[in-house]
Every structure is written in C-alpha cells, then in structure tokens.
Amino acid sequence: MKLPALALFERSLRLETRSALMCWSRTGLLILILLVLVPIQSLARVGMFGAPGLHFLQEMVWLNLVFITLAGLSYFASAITEEKEEMMLGLLRMTDLDPVAILLGKSTSRLVGALLLLLVQVPFVLLAVTLGGVGLLQIAASYGTLLAYLFLVCNLALLFSVVFRNTTTAAAFTLIVLMVFLIGHHWAAGIVQEMASSGRVNPQRGMGLILTTLIDFWRQAAPSDRLSAIFRTGFAGPAIGFQVASNLVLGVLLFLLAWLVFDWCTREEKDAATPQRWLVGRATRRSRIPPRLVGTRAISWKDFTFISGGKLGLLLKFGIVALLVALCNLIALETGSGEVITREFEGSVLIWVSLVITAVCLALEAAHVFREEIRWKTLSSLITLPVSVPELAYRKVAGTLAGTLPLLAGFVLGAVLVPEDVGRFFNDILSEPIALGTFSVAILQFILFLHLTAFLSLIIKRGALPLAIAIQYIGGSFFMAILAIMFSAGGSSGPGAICLLTGLICVVSTVVLHRAIGLRLARAAAEE
C-alpha cells in the first residue's frame, strides 16, 4: 500500500522522469561536458597548460556549483510559490495530502531530478583521470561536495518558497542568503581580524573566541573553500568532510523548518501574483498618467511605472547605490584603510557601484519587461493597439530604460570626481586597438545577454535570467577557447582576430535574437 505522504512525490517523480525538459537537460549536460572537454584537451595539446584532467574537473565542478546556485533561484524557489501564484495550493491542501506530502511532492522530487543530473555526469567526469593530473578521490570528494550543497540549496529555497507569496521574493531571499553563505565568511573573518588587531576583541577567549570558531565553521561549511582544498595537489581526503555533513544537517533542519511553518504561512490563500503595491505607489483619485502622454508614449509610461518601479523605484535604486557606497566606505574604515578614503576612492567606488547596479537592474528588467505581459495575459490587448510589434516593444523597453538609466548619474558624478582616471582609461582604450576591441566586445556581450534574457523570458515560464547567465557563460567560454585554439599560432594578430570574431558573433546573435523577440511577441499574443 502506498503511503499518502509519498503519493504526490511519486507522481512528481514520474512526471519529472517523463518530462521533455529533463530529457533536454540531460542532453544539454552531455553537450556541456563535450564543450568543456574539447577545448581543454586541445589547449593542453598545444601546451598552454598541464594537468588537463584537473582543469576539466575544476571546470565541471565550478560550472555545477553555479548551476546549483542558479537552480536554487528558479527551479527550487518556485516549488511552492508556483502553486500559490496559480491559486492551486488551497486545492492541494483540501485533499488528504498533509504538509509533508506536499513538500516532498513539490520539492524533494525536484531535488531527486537534479541529483540524477549530477550523477549522470560522473562516468564522463571519470575521463579526467585518463587526461591526467587528478585522482579518483578528488572526483568523489568534489561530487560529494556538490551533492551536499545541492541538498542545502534545495531546502533553503523550499523554506523561502513556503514563507513568501511569490517566486521573485523567494528567489531574491535565496540569492541573498546563498551569497552570504558562500562568500560572507571572508568579510566576517576580515572584520573580526581587524577588530582583534585594534584590540577590541581577543580571538583567544570570550566573544572573540566564539566569533572566530563560528566563522571557522562557516568557512568549512561553504563549498567554495572545500573545493579549493580538494583541487590542491596532494589532496588526501577524506572524501566526505565537514562541509558535506554540515550541509546535509542544515538541509534537513531547513526542511523541518519549512514543514513547521507551512501551515502558518499557507493557511490563507492570498492573491500571490499581485504586484507589490510599494513599488507602484498608492492609488490616487486621479489617474497617474501625465496628461501630455498620448499615443505610444503611454506604453513607455506604463512600463516605467509598473516594470521599472516608477519614481519610487528609481529613488529606491539610488538608495541602493548610496547604501553600497556607504558600505564600501564603512569596510574601508573598518579594515583600517581609512586613510584611503579620498576623492579618487569615492569616485571609483561611485563609478563601479553605479555600473554594477545599472547592469543588474537592466538584466532584471529584461527578464520582466515582456514576461509580465504574458503572465497577466495583457499582451493581446497591447498588440491590438494601432502600432506595430517592434514599435510596441521599443516603447516598452524605452519605459524600463527610463527607470534605470538615470542611475548612470552616479557614474557621471564619479567621473567628475576622478576626471583624470576616466580620461586615462579612455585614452588607454583608444590608443590600444586590443583594449578598444576588448571593451567593445564586453559591451556587445552585455547587449547580447539582455537580448537573450528577454527572449528566454518569452519562451520559458521562469528562470530566464539564470538560464541566460548559464548560456552566456558556457557559450562565451566555449567560443573563446575555440578562438584561442584557432589563433594560438597567430602571433600578434591573434588577440585582434579573436576580438573581431567574438564581436561579430555577438552582433549576429543579437540581431537574430532581436528579430526572434518580435516574432515571439506576436506569437505569444496570439496564443493568449
């Protein structure tokens, strides 16, 4: 007799096994292995580096680590929220299924699918031993690390998926916690060390000792440190270390916590897909549409207000920039480098923070600008306006850009603070063709990335941004490696040719995606 708790789990497993997505994912993984393997072997042959097996393993493991983190933001974080967004959780709860059954069915089945995706790689990764430079123990230890990390990520995302009403919020919190978990211990250790050197704490006793021990546990639990240790020459084990044990224990605790709060968080069925009111501001008695906005400019206004967050969203983004600049100053002060807080320091911090936040906002908006219309089934109403599809799309994009590009004011302010540095930077670029080529390729790649994100958001329900990051990263690495091999014997003309070809590939891909977005938009409107 089947246990009721396992009924949904079993059904989900069957569906996952049969789903075309999983089949394509497995195929994609095999292609990925090939994409990683071929350039490494070729580069090793031409003598660009030794120990190709170790390089192959490292490449595979770091890629998997990135994929697992990205999966946490989309695949796992939507486990329960997707039911909330579709108002289906209430129906599930009305059946005989108890919270454990729902959690197992919605999340653990996905975990099993992802575990299988990891395990299917193992026979191929064993080729690393043949390539040389790595032992079986290192392969076992690295995949053990990944499996434990996957378990932790799945249950962390599950907890946030239970707690929050929509996938976006759950994914955002998963990302923040994972980032803190993966790299936060470096900062924490630095701060404690600084406090110790200034005499505020003693790392040998009391609070100092407790902090040092906790940070040490934290460091050992993070997969990045463990993997670095595994990849060192002469790694002698153990295959299952503290990281694996701690990640598994943490994962179990997070699952239990998700179970514990499940009833409390899902008792009332709320409209989970409702947009955030704080983002769109208060509804007023009068329409917020400025009277002069007539025609397609109204479309830009709508996207400026509801996709980009409007004036309030813009203020919030400026607030984040200011906060990060303040944080950089605080860290500089705390680490004892207070004397470096100069005009040059503030200028460069402003430039970099503005650029990074602008890029992040643009990527997020690329994932939402068309997706939201599909989600709300409003595309058919928009498309029947007397404008062409490209005009509609450009107006929408213009609206979102209007809500983000003002952030570049931070860049301008930074440039005003350090005009000589900025001038030197552009002078270097313009005087050196290779530098100019690299700079242009970087910009072209970012434009391609935005197009890829927007296109993927039109064909998949969620996870367009993580997938775009993955595709861009893998595709970019592969092409760069191939081009490096092709031009390895090219002497001084090699880097220039690589830049030119990469730029060309970016432009062609962008044009193709640009066209595909228009076609897909029209199709999506007709499919509503």
Partner 1 sequence: MSESNLLTIEICNLHHAYKRQQALRGVSFAVEQGSIHGFVGPNGAGKTTTLKILATLLKPQSGTVRVFGLDVVADYKNVRRKTGFMPDHFSLYRQMTVQEYLDFFGAAYGLDVQERTRVVGDVLALTDMGARRNDLIKALSRGMQQRISLARVLVHDPALLLLDEPASGLDPRARIELMDIIRELRRMGKTIFISSHILSELAELCDSVTILDRGAVCYSGSMSGLNQRDGEVADYLLTFAEEHPAAEAALRKVSGVIEVTKPAKAPQYRVSFQRKQTDLNLLLRAALDSGAQITGFQEIVRHLNQAFMDLTEPGVPPVMVTAANNTPPPLPVPDAGGPS
**Can you give the binding site for partner 1, defined by CB under 8 A?**
271, 274-275, 277, 280, 283-289, 291-299, 301-302, 306, 376-378, 380-388, 522, 525-526, 528
Helix H, strand E, coil C: the string for 81-125 is: HHHHHCCCHHHHHHCCCCHHHHHHHHHHHHHHHHHHHHHCCHHHH
Beta carbon of residue 86, minimum distance to partner 1 (angstroms, whole number): 14
Residues 162, 262 contacting (CB under 8 angstroms): yes
Question: Which residues are CB-contacts of 68 (< 8 A; sequence separation ≥ 6)?
Answer: 114, 146, 149, 150, 153
Q: Which is nearer to partner 1, 136 or 526 (CB)?
A: 526
Beta carbon of residue 305, minimum distance to partner 1 (angstroms, whole number): 9
d(CA 522, CA 136): 52
Structure tokens that stand for 83 in this block: 């039911």
Beta carbon of residue 342, minimum distance to partner 1 (angstroms, whole number): 45
Beta carbon of residue 459, minimum distance to partner 1 (angstroms, whole number): 16
Structure tokens that stand for 121 in this block: 């790689």
Q: Which is nearer to partner 1, 204 or 384 (CB)?
A: 384
Beta carbon of residue 273, minimum distance to partner 1 (angstroms, whole number): 8
Q: Which is nearer to partner 1, 55 or 396 (CB)?
A: 396
Beta carbon of residue 454, minimum distance to partner 1 (angstroms, whole number): 20
The angle, 0 to 180 degrees and rounded to 10, between the axes of the packed helices 109-119 and 136-163 is: 160
H or E element at residue 367 = helix 343-368
Residues 308, 365 contacting (CB under 8 angstroms): yes
Q: Which is nearer to partner 1, 59 or 303 (CB)?
A: 303
Residues 332, 338 contacting (CB under 8 angstroms): yes
**Amino acid in position 42:** S
Structure tokens that stand for 526 in this block: 């007709």
Q: Which is nearer to partner 1, 135 or 275 (CB)?
A: 275
Beta carbon of residue 311, minimum distance to partner 1 (angstroms, whole number): 15
Structure tokens that stand for 397 in this block: 């994009």
Structure tokens that stand for 15 in this block: 């569906």
Q: Which is nearer to partner 1, 127 or 522 (CB)?
A: 522
Q: Which is nearer to partner 1, 59 or 85 (CB)?
A: 85
